[in-house]
Amino acid sequence: MKNQKDLFLYNTLSGKKEKMTPLVEGKIGMYVCGPTLYSEPHMGNMRTFINFDMIYRYLLHLGFSVKYVRNITDAGHITNSLGNAEDAIGKAAKLEQIQPLEIVYKYNTKFQELQKIYNLLPPSIEPTATGHIQEQIEIIEKIIENKFAYEVNGSVYFDVRAYSEKFQYGILSGRKIDELAEETRELNAQEEKRFFADFALWKKANPEDMQIWRSPWGNGNPGWHIECTAMSTKYLGAKFDIHGGGMDLKFPHHEDEIAQSCGSYGTQPANYWLHANMLNVNGQKMSKSLGNYFLPKEIIEGSTTIFDKAYDATTVRFLMMQAHYRSNMDMSSESLLAAEKGLQRMFEAVELSKNLALSEKSTFDVSEIVASFYTAMNDDFNTPILIAKMFDAVRLINLINDGKETITKADLETLILEFKLFLFDVLGMPANESKSDNRLSPVMDLVLDLRQNARGNKDWTTSDKIRDGLAVAGIVVKDGKDGTIWQ
């Protein structure tokens, strides 16, 4: 069932689901655009990273050897096309009165913490833009050499018209240059540019810039898009398998990355472009400028007024896994609560499965269920379907427990193994089991034994007192047919 050749993914480039064929069999190179660390990443940012973490996990699960590169943008980029605004990191630095890299360091520390809290696997490497200025300059030089860029007054711009004669600008986002021209009716104040769609590869330094680098064109800053081209090329080569990022990066960021790669190395960087959809708040994209965002920490601390109570990171992650990565999703107290309860059922089934009665034969087809897990995920990482299939398995486990279905030892082992692999390794739910403290266990045995005696004597007052007392300590007691369990 674990067949690498059955994987299909939706490629933004073609607008279709395509069979995944790596450049080198068994190996995958994946680049994902990471955060710009001028502030703490919000929940919407996290959703993208959680989704690509899931994708990374599934690729690993299929046995691919994956090199996963996710950059950190720590060089400031001018915030609008006019070029007269400050870069976000520089702005934050001035505001907080510390160095730009202190800003980045500060927020990167938080970002790293969040990755642990939300159970993200660390990428193979997290390269930084400032650590690759030289590589960026070299690519710019190549583009100039190829006559797809020009220098004006200490800045370098990508020449979209020249590029369009050999390549198709707009291939990813479906944009046409002449249409773009009509659309951009204002804001053409960028006099240095020869053509409105040209974009900066290198910007001459402003006197107030806090980060400045030397280049063949004088002191300045790299353009926003060039860092990804430089780092993906360095770590994955000019051509690699998967490039991912948020939908909002499709244009212009990813479009321009393609132009830069074609303009320098004559090849598109990635075979497959994956785009994760946005997280909404009340139907609108979460964004800093709208102010409708909340932080990943606020939700687990319960310090945002948007939700009725605190929800842990696992619940949030599970809720996100219940939506497809290409759909946009909203979060509400109701949906979080539903996820919390649903996940609880999953975990309880895992516990329950440890003590199921075994039979001579199984009354259902385990291999079919397990196959359905793979079918779901192979279809463009359809986690909602996967979860639905897993709930089917949960139901079966409960039915076995009720004696209404039976299972053999071998089938149970297969089912549990695969179930856990998908729950913990693929969906990334933390496997915090075996937490059943060795010292607590005998104590509980004793307490429950006492309660059982009371129940035997129909001393309900005592038995309920024990149950209520344990409830206060967060221990739930459930009386089943074959004894009492606690958690």
CB nearer to RNA: give 187 or 417. Answer: 187
Phi, psi of 285 (to 5 degrees): -55, 130
Candidates 57, 67, 70, 77: give the one binding RNA (CB under 7 A): 77
Question: CA angle 65-71-74, nearest 5°?
Answer: 165
152 by Cβ neighbours in 10 Å (0-12 / 13-18 / 19+) ranks as middle
User: CA 54, CA 342: separation in Å to the nearest integer?
Assistant: 19
Question: Residue 405: which residues within 8 A CB-CB, separation 6 or more?
Answer: 362, 363, 364, 396, 399
CB nearer to RNA: give 213 or 391. Answer: 391
**Contact range with RNA by CB under 7 A, out of 55-63, 91-99, 161-169, 479-487:** 479-487
What order of strands is seen across the sheet that includes strand 279-281? 284-285, 279-281, 329-330
Name which of residues 8 to 27 contact RNA (CB under 7 A): none
**Contact range with RNA by CB under 7 A, out of 100-108, 126-134, 137-145, 478-486:** 478-486
CB of 256 to RNA, least distance (A): 9
Site track for RNA across 276-315, x = CB under 7 A: x-xxx--xxxxxxx--------------------------
Name which of residues 398 to 427 contact RNA (CB under 7 A): 398-399, 401-402, 404
Of 161, 170, 167, 163, which is closest to residue 12 (Cα–Cα)?
170
CB of 356 to RNA, least distance (A): 12
Tokens coding 16: 């279709």
CB nearer to RNA: give 262 or 343. Answer: 343
Candidates 193, 203, 243, 455: give the one binding RNA (CB under 7 A): 455
Residue 365 near RNA by CB under 7 A: no
CB of 231 to RNA, least distance (A): 14
Residue 463 near RNA by CB under 7 A: yes
CB of 434 to RNA, least distance (A): 21
CB nearer to RNA: give 22 or 90. Answer: 90
**Contact range with RNA by CB under 7 A, out of 107-115, 258-266, 323-331, 420-428:** 323-331
Candidates 98, 247, 371, 431: give the one binding RNA (CB under 7 A): 247
Residue 121 near RNA by CB under 7 A: no
CB of 411 to RNA, least distance (A): 18
Candidates 249, 258, 262, 393: give the one binding RNA (CB under 7 A): 249
CB of 81 to RNA, least distance (A): 4
CB of 254 to RNA, least distance (A): 9
Name which of residues 127 to 156 contact RNA (CB under 7 A): none
Question: CA angle 231-274-290, nearest 5°?
Answer: 90
CB of 461 to RNA, least distance (A): 8
Name which of residues 330 to 359 contact RNA (CB under 7 A): 330, 332, 334-335, 337-339, 341-342, 345, 348
CB of 476 to RNA, least distance (A): 6
Which residues pair with residue 158 across a beta bridge?
149
Q: Would you state the torsion angle of the CA atoms of residues 402, 405, 410, 411, taken in this order, to the nearest 10 degrees? A: -110
Name which of residues 166 to 225 contact RNA (CB under 7 A): 173-175, 179-180, 182-184, 187, 224
Of 29, 11, 23, 31, which is closest to residue 228 (Cα–Cα)?
31
End-to-end CA gap in the chain: 34
